[in-house]
Chains A and B, each alone.
Chain A
Amino acid sequence: MTTTLKTSGLRPQNFKSATQEPVWLRYTLIAVVLLVLSVLLYAPLIAVFVEALDDGIIMAIESLGNRDAQEAIKLTLIIAAIAVPANALFGIAAAWAITKFDWRGKAFLITLIDLPFSVSPVVAGLCLILLFGANSMVGGWLVANGYPIIFAVPGIVLATMFITFPFVARELIPVMTEQGRSEEEAALTLGASGWRAFFTVTLPNIRWALLYGVLLCNARAMGEFGAVAVVSGKIRGQTATMPIMIEMLYNEYMSVAAFSMAALLAVLALVTLMLKSALEWRYADQLAASHRH
């Protein structure tokens, strides 16, 4: 032996780690995963921007400047501005009621809150038409009194709220369950009022999970298509949201306009993902331990 270190006759390359896959399998898995994600996720994302810039960036921006496009963007922002805070409020109330008090039927209520996750957006839209459409009892009365819901903005708001209903509650329930009640009870015994306990103790504890839920809720609210398509009536400049506009432009072979609008929503999606990842890395411990979407 020439070195000062003793080495085994059996070489380390032959040594198989107990908790790792063989090298060839590891590289194959990584390669397969990258390939599938490229073909399925990254390529479409890139395609959105490539198609939008097909006639140059000037054309892309101009297509977003026309009146109908502007109206669609404005409408989408308005819808999100109503639906997201409403669902955030609901999410806080639901998580509060579910985790801070004991009562029967809790499990059933959680199932009800989760229901919109597994109901088709189109079915959700249909439900709203049956309830508020001009042919229904409630809807007929509302239309007669000048408050149409279906084929109007309120219907789109309701449809969006239905679809995004569980997002905030889903994020808050696990976090608030984990935190339990002791801190609020401590605040209450110290003489704080219920509201004061909520604002000084509960809210700071859940703020990152709340932001996380709001983020997901907002992304879905601005991008919802199926449910909105059914109830909106697709009136250009009035009830056409951004996703609806995309469909109409695409079907009219206005490719640059359709993809420019799509690119705008794709940027929103990317920003959402970045903020979401940033939250996950920084506040992992304050978010729910396991996420279910």
Chain B
Amino acid sequence: MGVMITMLSLVVILPIGTLILRGAQIGFADLWAVIGRERTFNALALSFRAALIAAVFNLFFGLALAWVLVRYRFPGKRILDASVDLPFALPTAVAGIALTTIYAPNGAFGAPMMDWFGLKIAYTELGIWIALIFVGLPFVVRTVQPVIEEIDREVEEASATLGASRARTFQKVILPMLMPALLTGFALALARSVGEYGSVIFIAGNLPNLTEIAPLLIVIRLEEFDYDGAIAIALAMLAISFVMLLVINLIQVWSRRRMGAA
């Protein structure tokens, strides 16, 4: 007990507390002024927007992937299942340079995209989406997968005997059961992506106002010894994280109430 509280304080509470304290010393008005600056605002907006797009992609793709992993039989399924966690296990810097190599205008995928569609992926916002999709990929899959496993087949059969098509059964019966898990996975992927740094900075291009993400701007401000600027951005991101955590907890409370104890 003592060990736990001591470590929690030293490693988590004290550092975050310091950040909040320093923010309070600067004052709300000054913090707000920093966030309102064009470059800062654009960086925060980019981080949030790209994370949102990646999380939405992962919401749909994660559902499809979890469904395929639970319901279908095909060779190599176990390897596929294990590989879903690759983004958890692979260091972000490694993912970052690997994705950049492939999607750069002269890369294995980047070159054909450039030649055929005139589409530049790396060093544009598109590249940031790719990196964030990579990072957030496992979240929805791993929250939804166990729920799909636990679906009672009888419920799907009941829907069919009542005349519902497979599509309607999915929409009206299966999807509502998966909704809490889907939203939780979505929120986790979003929270992770908003603050992601390692896998993004290589592929992003890092042009101020265009492809410069918020965590990178914190690093830049630190290198300029502009601590107040760094603190303002960090607090804005911390606020986003808190809201996200709150949302996750609310989803869980709501789903528990709605689905009952059974």
Contacts and interface: CB of A to CB of B under 8 A. Distances in A.
Interface of A: 16, 18-22, 26, 29-30, 32-34, 36-37, 39-45, 47-48, 51, 86, 89-90, 93-94, 96-97, 101, 109, 111-124, 126-131, 135-136, 158, 161-162, 165, 216, 219-220, 222-226, 229-230, 242-244, 246-247, 250, 258-259, 262, 265-266, 268-270, 272-274, 276-277, 289-293
Contact of A121 (B14, B72, B130, B195): B195
Nearest to A169: B4
A273 B86 contact: yes
Given A126-B231, A126-B234, A262 B98 contact: yes
Contacts of A226: 92, 195-198, 215
Contacts of A230: 218-219, 222
B251 interface: no
Contact of A120 (B14, B101, B153, B194): B194
Given A40-B137, A130-B22, 12 more contacts: A18-B161, A21-B166, A37-B80, A41-B83, A115-B16, A115-B241, A118-B191, A126-B230, A229-B219, A262-B91, A269-B94, A293-B188
Interface string B1-43: 1011001100111111011001000000000000000000000
Contacts of B166: 16, 20-22
Interface in B167-214: 184, 188, 191-192, 194-198, 202, 214
B227 A130 contact: yes
B94 A262 contact: yes
A95 B72 CA distance: 36
A223 B91 contact: yes
B101 A247 contact: no
B195 A119 contact: yes
Contacts of A47: 98, 101-102, 108
B68 interface: yes
A131 B18 contact: yes
B105 interface: no
Contact of B157 (A19, A112, A243): A19
B97 A258 contact: yes
B108 A272 contact: no
Interface string B132-176: 011001110011001100000100110011000010000000000
A93 B85 contact: no
Interface residues of B, number: 88
A18 B157 contact: yes
A93 B3 contact: yes
Given A250-B202, A277-B78, A165 B11 contact: yes
B86 to A, nearest CB: 5
B237 A120 contact: yes
Nearest to B3: A93
Given A120-B194, A130-B231, A44 B93 contact: no
Interface string B225-262: 00100110010011001001100010000000000000
A293 B142 contact: yes
Contacts of B197: 120-122, 225-226, 229
A101 B1 CA distance: 10
Contacts of B194: 120
Contacts of B215: 120-123, 226
29 contacts: A18-B161, A19-B156, A30-B72, A30-B74, A40-B133, A41-B87, A43-B109, A44-B134, A112-B8, A116-B12, A118-B245, A119-B16, A119-B238, A126-B222, A127-B16, A130-B22, A131-B15, A223-B90, A229-B198, A243-B92, A243-B93, A246-B91, A247-B93, A266-B94, A269-B89, A273-B85, A290-B146, A292-B184, A292-B188
A243 B91 contact: yes
Interface in B30-85: 61, 64-65, 67-68, 71-72, 74, 78, 80-85
B95 interface: yes
A126 to B, nearest CB: 5
A40 B161 CA distance: 40
A230 B217 CA distance: 12
B81 to A, nearest CB: 8
B18 A127 contact: yes
